[in-house]
Structure 1
Amino acid sequence: MVGIILASHGEFAAGIKQSGQMIFGEQEKVEAVTFMPNEGPNDLHQHLEDAIAKFDPDDEVLFLIDLWGGSPFNQANSIYEEHKDKWAIVTGLNLPMLVEAYGARLSMNSAQEIAAHIVESGREGVKIKPEDLEPKGDGNSSEEQEDTAVNAGAPGKMTYVLARIDSRLLHGQVATTWTKTSGANRIIVVSDSVAKDDLRKSLIKEAAPVGVKAHVVPIDQMIKLSQDDQHFGGTKALLLFENPEDALRTVEGGVPLKEINVGSMAHSVGKVQPNKVLAFNQEDIDAFKKMESDGIKFDVRKVPNDNKDNLDAIMKKAENLLNEQK
């Protein structure tokens, strides 16, 4: 695994490391190096050396640094020069860039390959509202070109690369981590209630990551789309459900899901919470059991790096808590 050094003036590196882990989960071989006001270049150089020493001797290193030409860059560059055939430096560190680097490490083993891959994500993470203030491009950006293959009307049905139950629907962990790791090029929120809420629909569409279209459709419409074999060839869909009841209706309607990721289910009146992120009432448990009887598998984890939990054990605890309430 490529080791990552985050380096910055002040505490920025430590803060963005924490932010990245909130979205992508705990990460191995990531070190934050901070350059404080009372320190000099020699102190910073030693901090960098100490951070690198925590990696394995054969690990390649990717430096993600706040500012080109600043002290963190200069000191990292002096170390990089001895390893420039394999190591890499990227400046202008922001959160989209960091999350993309974490995702890239799952499939890329070269620091320089990851560096080349994440630069565009860092640039595309800079957006502005109102949109008409955005500088006019030349029509060739990845965002302007995105979705041409998806909307080309290619024959075939859509492929379901991930289905997830998450009461928060489309948020940072989904928009970055799960979209990247699943390879989705279209996000579909399947919900009758959200489809009737114009504000929520607008927010979901705006939350989609660059290069991915987001839609909100009622359950019956999703069932019809799944039967269309003329217009969705090349579509890799990530389906999002607010609750297991909606997922059950969708599966029973004929959408061919074989596994569903269970991310979070918010607590509300009448529900019990057997762990930190999942809350159940009896209807939820019944829906999960019905899907299990239909052969659906469940992958219980918030982010890809988490260990998988056992849904049956969690539901048994929830049932005991519900019985105690009676």
Structure 2
Amino acid sequence: MVGIILASHGEFANGILQSGAMIFGDQPDVKAVTLQPSEGPDDLKAKIEAAIATFENQDEVLFLVDLWGGTPFNQSNGIINGHEDKWAIVTGLNLPMLIEAYASRMSMTSAHEIATHICEVARDGVKTQPATLEPKKEKEEVVTKQTAGAIPEGTVLGDGHIKYVLARVDTRLLHGQVATTWTKTTQPNRIIVVSDSVAHDDLRKKMIEQAAPPGVKANVVPIDKMIQVAKDPRFGNTKAMLLFETPQDALRAIKGGVDIKELNIGSMAHSLGKVVVNKAIAMNQDDIKTLEELKEMGVTFDVRKVPADSKENMDNLLKKAKAELKNS
């Protein structure tokens, strides 16, 4: 695995390391190195060299640095002298860049390859809202789009069956961990939030659609509409990530014919009448009943917030919830 050095003036590197862990989970062979006001270039160089010495693979090292020409860059640039064939530096460190670097390590084994790849993602991560504030490019690319209109009903695309790369229960629906970590891991071409309440809330619906990561379209549909989509052969080329607010919504969709074999349980928020069973999940009697019914239907559970987490055992969590509710 490619080792990563995060280098910055002040505490920025430590902060972005923590932010990355919140979204992608704790990562091995990643070290934050900071230049403090009381320190000089030699102090920083010693820190960087000590950090690299902890990496399991010191042949491939990627330096993600805050600013071109600053001391963290200059010291990193001196250290890679003689290693240019394997090591690389990318400046302008931002959170999209870091998350993409983490994801890239899953499939890329070269620091050079990752460095080339993450630059475009880092640039695309700089956006404005409203979008009209985006600066105009000097040369606009001319793109010709063919408007085919709606695909005729009855058309069969692909094998006629929608593919579910992930089905997840998450009270927060589409947020950073989902839009980055899970999207990179499962590679959907469409994210579908399946919720009656959100589908009828124009503000929440708009916010979710705008939160979609680059290259992936997000839709919000009621549960009955998702049941129709699941049976429509026009979605045969769709690789979908389904997001449910509650296990009850997931159960209703599955009973209606949405062919989900495994359900990722990411978070179930605490509220009145629920008991906490781990850091992300709280349950009441209805949740227990729903999850047990899903289990009886043959649905398996993948209980974890991000792919890097270890999977938890749903039977143990249900047992704990029953005991807590009995004693409450």
Is TM-score (shorter-chain normalized) higher than 0.5?
yes
| 1:234 CA displacement | 3.0
Looking at structure 2, the residues matched to 164 and 57 of structure 1 have their Cα atoms a distance apart, in angstroms, of 34
Q: Work out whether 1:276 is the aligned partner of 2:279.
A: yes
Gaps of 5+ in 1: none
| 1:247 CA displacement | 0.3
- Range with greater deviation from structure 2 (166-175 or 36-45): 36-45
Q: Work out whether 1:287 is the aligned partner of 2:290.
A: yes
- Match of residue 213, structure 2, among 197, 206, 209: 209
Instruction: Find the counterpart in structure 2 of residue 175 from structure 1.
Output: 179
| 1:244 CA displacement | 0.5
Is the 8 Å Cα contact of residues 3 and 57 (structure 2) preserved in structure 1?
no
| 1:267 CA displacement | 0.7
Instruction: Find the counterpart in structure 1 of residue 164 from structure 2.
Output: 160
Instruction: Find the counterpart in structure 2 of residue 259 from structure 1.
Output: 262
Instruction: Please tell me the residue identity of whatever aligns with 2:298.
Output: G
Instruction: Please tell me the residue identity of whatever aligns with 1:313.
Output: N
Looking at structure 2, the residues matched to 145 and 87 of structure 1 have their Cα atoms a distance apart, in angstroms, of 40
Q: What does the per-residue CA deviation read over 1:131-159, in whole Å, with 9 as the maximum and x for residues that have no partner?
A: 11112345659xx999x9xx999443321
| 1:15 CA displacement | 0.7
Is the 8 Å Cα contact of residues 3 and 55 (structure 1) preserved in structure 2?
yes
Instruction: Please tell me the residue identity of whatever aligns with 1:252.
Output: K
Where in structure 2 are the equivalents of 1:52-131 lying within 5 Å?
A: 52-56=52-56, 58-131=58-131
Instruction: Find the counterpart in structure 2 of residue 235 from structure 1.
Output: 238
Instruction: Please tell me the residue identity of whatever aligns with 2:302.
Output: D
Looking at structure 1, the residues matched to 95 and 11 of structure 2 have their Cα atoms a distance apart, in angstroms, of 15
Instruction: Please tell me the residue identity of whatever aligns with 2:257.
Output: G
Q: Residues 157 and 214 of structure 1: is their aligned pair in 2 closer, same or farther, counting only changes over 3 Å?
A: same
Say what the alpha-carbon RMSD is for the aligned residues: 2.0
Q: Residues 291 and 202 of structure 1: is their aligned pair in 2 closer, same or farther, counting only changes over 3 Å?
A: same
Looking at structure 2, the residues matched to 273 and 5 of structure 1 have their Cα atoms a distance apart, in angstroms, of 37
Q: What does the per-residue CA deviation read over 1:279-323, in whole Å, with 9 as the maximum and x for residues that have no partner?
A: 111111111111111111100001100010001110111011122
Is the 8 Å Cα contact of residues 139 and 145 (structure 1) preserved in structure 2?
no
Q: What does the per-residue CA deviation read over 1:25-50, in whole Å, with 9 as the maximum and x for residues that have no partner?
A: 11110011111222222112111111
- Range with greater deviation from structure 2 (296-305 or 283-292): 283-292
SS in 2 for 1:249: helix
Aligned residue pairs, count? 319
Q: Residues 295 and 323 of structure 1: is their aligned pair in 2 closer, same or farther, counting only changes over 3 Å?
A: same
Instruction: Please tell me the residue identity of whatever aligns with 1:210.
Output: P
SS in 2 for 1:82: coil
Q: Residues 71 and 26 of structure 1: is their aligned pair in 2 closer, same or farther, counting only changes over 3 Å?
A: same
* Identical residues among aligned pairs (%): 63
| 1:95 CA displacement | 0.3
SS in 2 for 1:38: coil
Looking at structure 1, the residues matched to 293 and 307 of structure 2 have their Cα atoms a distance apart, in angstroms, of 25
Where in structure 2 are the equivalents of 1:23-34 lying within 5 Å?
A: 23-34=23-34
Instruction: Find the counterpart in structure 1 of residue 40 from structure 2.
Output: 40
Looking at structure 2, the residues matched to 277 and 299 of structure 1 have their Cα atoms a distance apart, in angstroms, of 13
Looking at structure 2, the residues matched to 234 and 224 of structure 1 have their Cα atoms a distance apart, in angstroms, of 16
Q: Residues 145 and 203 of structure 1: is their aligned pair in 2 closer, same or farther, counting only changes over 3 Å?
A: farther
Instruction: Please tell me the residue identity of whatever aligns with 2:228.
Output: K
Looking at structure 1, the residues matched to 218 and 5 of structure 2 have their Cα atoms a distance apart, in angstroms, of 33
Instruction: Find the counterpart in structure 2 of residue 320 from structure 1.
Output: 323
Is the 8 Å Cα contact of residues 7 and 72 (structure 1) preserved in structure 2?
yes
Instruction: Please tell me the residue identity of whatever aligns with 1:219.
Output: I
| 1:270 CA displacement | 1.3
Give every structure 1 segment of 4 or more consecutive aligned residues whose post-TM-superposition deviation is greater than 2 Å: 56-59, 135-141, 151-158
SS in 2 for 1:56: coil
Is the 8 Å Cα contact of residues 59 and 86 (structure 2) preserved in structure 1?
no
Is the 8 Å Cα contact of residues 3 and 62 (structure 1) preserved in structure 2?
yes
- Provide TM-score, normalisation by structure 1: 0.93
- Provide TM-score, normalisation by structure 2: 0.92
SS in 1 for 2:7: strand
Looking at structure 2, the residues matched to 291 and 213 of structure 1 have their Cα atoms a distance apart, in angstroms, of 28
Looking at structure 2, the residues matched to 199 and 17 of structure 1 have their Cα atoms a distance apart, in angstroms, of 32
Where in structure 2 are the equivalents of 1:117-156 lying within 5 Å?
A: 117-137=117-137, 154-155=157-158, 156=160
Q: What does the per-residue CA deviation read over 1:83-102, in whole Å, with 9 as the maximum and x for residues that have no partner?
A: 11111111110001101111
| 1:58 CA displacement | 4.2
Looking at structure 2, the residues matched to 302 and 257 of structure 1 have their Cα atoms a distance apart, in angstroms, of 19
